[in-house]
Amino acid sequence: MHTYTRRYTGPLQAVILDLAGTCVDFGSLAPIQAFLKLFEAEGVDLSEAEAREPMGTEKREHIRRLLAMPRIRKQWIGSVGKVPDNADVDRLYEAFLPLQMAAIAERTKLIPGAMALQDRLRDDGIKLGVNTGYSRDMVNVMLPGLIAQGFEPESVVVATEVPQGRPAPHMSLKNAIELGITAVQGCVKVDDTTTGIEEGLNAGMWTVAVVASGNAVGLSEEQFYALDEAERADILARGHRFMATSAAHYVIDSIADLPSVLADIGRRLQTNERP
């Protein structure tokens, strides 16, 4: 039983992982594929870089932000004949859902290191939660594939079931409540987007940004490892620089590198440090 103190110096209590790009779907490709198809059907040429810019946000908000980009907005007016409004966002979101479901169903492979991390956390008595910009229906498409691989987090929180999605702290705080956490300082939020890191910081948690498997690099596992060593090192260095702008406490290649970070956070907690 954890005790409440003026300054938390107890053990690490929980790790809260983002889903796509952090522990599943190397490269976070499922949402990108869906967004590109969605806008193509509207006669709008959306680049992958543009599609990735709002990543981490709830998907309806993601669509809203894409439509607000000057280049996309201009194309939309030329193709549809009017300025995009809330009714357009609603219509696009409904059209997006089946595209996203199909893409998610194809990309449920765990990122290397996810199962070893789960085993390590269980051995150490640390809780495991996940949260996502996906809706509950989207997550329900993904979960059977994760469970079949043996991955079973104790709390699954989605953006559409809290008052505000990222960068608000609500999802991480809901995870903490569901996991029975007594101090947010004993929690670690791991994410591949700057928005997700901001969520963890706003929740008062330690934050760890992952680079290789996520939005900052945006390549499938096959594409990433097909690069020669120099190219891979260059892309990783750029990704590290970009994710460092999120003010994450740590920036690592992937969750395979997380255990050593958790050990370091554990030591820092014991010496009265807080996030």
User: Active-site residue 18, yes or no?
Assistant: yes
Characterise 79 by phi-psi region: left (phi > 0), alpha (psi -120 to 50), beta (else): alpha
Sign of torsion over alpha carbons 16, 18, 19, 23: negative
Could you give the CA distance from residue 202 to residue 19 in angstroms, rounded to a whole number?
19
* Alpha helices, H only, the chain: 29-40, 48-52, 59-68, 70-80, 86-106, 114-124, 136-148, 170-178, 194-202, 221-226, 229-244, 258-270
Is residue 123 flagged as an active site residue? no
The single residue of 18, 25, 191, 192 carrying the catalytic annotation is: 18
Question: Which is the catalytic residue, given 25, 37, 45, 59?
Answer: 59
- Give me 129's structure tokens: 């939660």
- Could you give the C-alpha distances from 259 to 15, 113, 193, 223, in angstroms and in order? 11, 10, 20, 26
List C-alpha distances in Å: 220 to 103, 214, 224: 14, 9, 6
The residues carrying an active-site annotation are 18, 59
